[in-house]
Structure 1
Amino acid sequence: MASIKTILRKKQLLNGKFPISLRVTKDRKTKFFRTPFEVHINEWDSKVGRFNKKHTQQLKSNRLLGKIEDRALEVISDLEMAQDFYTLNDFERKFRVQSNPEASNIFSFWEELIDEMKEAGRMGNADVYHHTKNSVQKFAKQKSLHFNEVSPTFLDKYEVYLRNKGGSGGGIGVKMRAIRAIFNVAIKRGVIDEKLYPFKHYKISKLKGKAIKKALNIEEVHSLQNLDLSDKPHLINSRNYFIFSFYTRGMNFADMMKLRWENVSGDRIHYTRSKTKGNFIIKIMPPVKDILDFYAKNNKPYIFPIILRENLTPTQLNDRKRKTLKKFNKDLKELAGLAGINKPVTSYVARHSFANCLKQKGTGTDIISESLGHQDVKTTKAYLKELDTAILDEASELLLP
């Protein structure tokens, strides 16, 4: 059991007064926590740890000291109920949050995590956290928001706010998962108590994206692949990126961007997927070989002309990715028009199309799952379920006379 006492520290300040601190002792170790008070030595009663009658605001100051002690005792009680063993460092983390309002400001903690992600090169997550924080700040209309204010009711109202602004279930879910992650890290690091966790009652599982995944059939992929772009040279790179992604099991754009010639060995491409850290070994199909041959003459460390120099910072890499991806998706709209494809075509459609075409050719779900790098076949089943429309339409047409 820890013990506490409010004491006068013996080191005199420049103004002639002495600081008042809260002394916490546990397992023969002691920590001191500064209070807002400073007094002359004759204004302090060391026996009871309180201001005496010579202090001009004796009653008010003693009440505040009592509140500080009560807060410390509450922290000790919570720690002893939550765990068999705790240290003074555990007490300090928990007590400082309750004593310092800024420490429980979710936006300050949020910024801290964003900075950590940027330093680790996790720029995609950093972007999601940044945009979600800005969105919550606009909704809350305040610069400071404490963890205990983010209640299930707060989240319900935030969801309504996002829907009124045109947000979809899937998009809202992304933001809610970012908020949930903030709480999980804060609890893990001892910044807040688990009882403040609002997601026991607010369920993110109800937020499901309703947008149907778009995919091309193999004929449409071939029409893009066989386009004559001799008079449209500005589209060649984007067409190559799409076809390369399709024939490399839907390789993500971020992974294509970082692909080096050293990843090519014989008739295989070896790489680690950024998102899942899964290792892939992919056979080089003829369309992929044609694209590799096209860029081989550039004599650069990277296969594609996206990263143009070495030693870019994570922020610079992310900026380059966003700029190139924006042009890529713009070019794909033009390419779809030239190929007579009346569907929205984006960079991610290549991955959807790869899965869709394998399914149409009768490939088993387990094989498709392994090809995509899904860790659970259930993910693949859910993925393919949204691509069923074309197959169902064809089956229905069998009923026609």
Structure 2
Amino acid sequence: MNNFTTIKKMNSVDKLSVLFFIKRTKNLLNGESPIYCRLTMNGIRSEFAVNKSVTADIWLPTAGKARGNSIEIYRLNKSLENINEKINEILRQSELQGTAINPELIRNELLGINKQYKFIVEAYEEHNSKMAALIGKQFAPKTLVRHKTSLKHLKEFIKSFYKTSDIELIKINHQFLTNYEFWLKTNTKCQHNVVVKYVKNLGKILKIARNNGWMEHDPFLNTTFKYHEVDKPFLTKEELEKIMNKSFSIPRLEKIRDVFLFCCFTGLAFIDVHDLKYEDFITGANGERWIRKKRQKTKNWSNIPILPAAQRILDKYKNDIECQINKTILPVPSNQKMNAYLKEIADLCGLNIKLTTHVARHTFATTVTLSNHVSMEAVSKMLGHSSLDMTKKYARILDHYIADEFEKIKDKY
């Protein structure tokens, strides 16, 4: 009677294991052991008592039924067969309706449990509402924007793929995640890494749901959505000098160039330069001026000695009217305007690279620091990274740096 039932659905094949067994450790007063039914699918398990019992000596574990020819044994085995038939009917209905199925849903259906389930869109909206109330206290505005976009895509996916406005959390499984990933890749203009980010955003909501008891299983179990390695663009020493030495007749572009260069010489992200305050400047271990600032994105501290090139830019805007009015250290515009103006600067400098504020941070990690033999550990500390692995993704080992290192061993062999 114990068996595997194969379910073919939505281009995938799932196997449901149905196992009847007795719990010898929970013997009843009459000496019989209670019979349980265990349902297993894709590593997810759910079990329940079938309200039947039997003595251990006549139970056949492999067959999942009792041994004997008496009318009582016949009725017992027949009741177990009926449970099997009900399970198969639940699976057939799920396949006909195209709905997700898992052991917990089957168990609840068999036991007639009319549980009020939480829905995924409902849970995500609740999450975003709480996050909005914590902007500036625990979360950055961009984080909320990212989750709002994730929710928007999720709603469109559910409406397009499942023809409904929301789905119970208990019905979300591995197949739902792979369907969502496929839909994002085929129905949006998102690249692979952006798609993975949206799926991982959903994973955060599902983790909250499990912690709150709204769902028992983990759809991400034994599943990984990996980012592709992406080359991070940066400026070479020659390209950086082109921008430094370029004269601009338009004051707007000169200011943008200076802010960009400041990022190149400090490694600060755009938002951290935008929010830079006088209290972020300290006297460092070497007695010189440093920036000590907690990164908005990760809340990790960045400890950055100020290079002369960066100090010259600070001195240039020390008495700037715009900075005084806006109470800022540097004339930093919005990120959108900054990147738009950087495109103009790249064109005027004859650079074949898409200049963005991220390029400045990458340039600091590579051209400014690592290629000048600053240790990986020091660069990691300045960038405010949690681990060296994060720094390695930013920091490119330049060809001439490898050549310099090779010179150290050339004469030895």
Normalized against structure 1, the TM-score is what? Answer: 0.63
What are the residue-to-residue correspondences of 1:2-401 with 2, within 5 Å?
99-101=115-117, 104-121=118-135, 122=139, 123-141=141-159, 142-164=164-186, 165-190=188-213, 192-195=214-217, 197-204=218-225, 207-229=226-248, 231-248=249-266, 250-265=267-282, 267-297=289-319, 298=321, 299-300=324-325, 301-306=327-332, 324-357=334-367, 358-384=369-395, 387-388=396-397
In structure 2, relative to structure 1, the CA distance for the partners of 1:282 and 1:118 (3 Å cut) is same
In structure 2, relative to structure 1, the CA distance for the partners of 1:265 and 1:369 (3 Å cut) is closer
Q: What one-letter code is carried by the residue in structure 2 that aligns with 1:273?
A: R
Q: Secondary structure at the match of 2:313?
A: helix
Residue correspondences, number: 278
Q: CA deviation at 1:275?
A: 1.7
Q: Distance in 2 between matches of 1:212 and 1:361?
A: 21
In structure 2, relative to structure 1, the CA distance for the partners of 1:135 and 1:389 (3 Å cut) is farther
Q: Distance in 1 between matches of 2:216 and 2:142?
A: 28
Q: CA deviation at 1:214?
A: 0.5
Q: Distance in 1 between matches of 2:151 and 2:339?
A: 27
Structure 2 counterpart of 1:55: none
Q: What one-letter code is carried by the residue in structure 2 that aligns with 1:304?
A: L
Verify the 8 A CA contact 2:300 2:386 in the aligned structure 1. no
Verify the 8 A CA contact 1:173 1:208 in the aligned structure 2. yes
Q: CA deviation at 1:235?
A: 1.0
Q: Could you report, residue by residue, the CA deviation over 1:23-80 in whole angstroms, capped at 9, with x for unpaired residues?
A: xxxxxxxxxxxxxxxxxxxxxxxxxxxxxxxxxxxxxxxxxxxxxxxxxxx9xx99xx
Q: Distance in 2 between matches of 1:170 and 1:220?
A: 28
Q: CA deviation at 1:327?
A: 0.8
Q: CA deviation at 1:347?
A: 0.7
Q: Distance in 2 between matches of 1:333 and 1:390?
A: 27
Verify the 8 A CA contact 2:304 2:382 in the aligned structure 1. no
Q: Distance in 1 between matches of 2:370 and 2:168?
A: 49
Q: Distance in 1 between matches of 2:233 and 2:347?
A: 16
**Larger CA deviation: 352-361 vs 163-172:** 163-172
Q: Which has the bigger relative contact order, CA under 8 A and spacing at least 6?
A: 1
Q: What one-letter code is carried by the residue in structure 1 that aligns with 2:374?
A: T
In structure 2, relative to structure 1, the CA distance for the partners of 1:340 and 1:393 (3 Å cut) is farther
Q: CA deviation at 1:292?
A: 1.7
Verify the 8 A CA contact 1:152 1:201 in the aligned structure 2. no
Structure 1 stretches of 5 or more lacking a match? Answer: 1-73, 79-94, 307-322, 396-401
Coordinate RMSD, CA, aligned: 2.9
Q: Distance in 2 between matches of 1:327 and 1:336?
A: 14
In structure 2, relative to structure 1, the CA distance for the partners of 1:135 and 1:394 (3 Å cut) is farther
Q: Distance in 1 between matches of 2:177 and 2:398?
A: 34
Q: CA deviation at 1:198?
A: 0.5
Structure 2 stretches of 5 or more lacking a match? Answer: 1-103, 284-288, 405-413
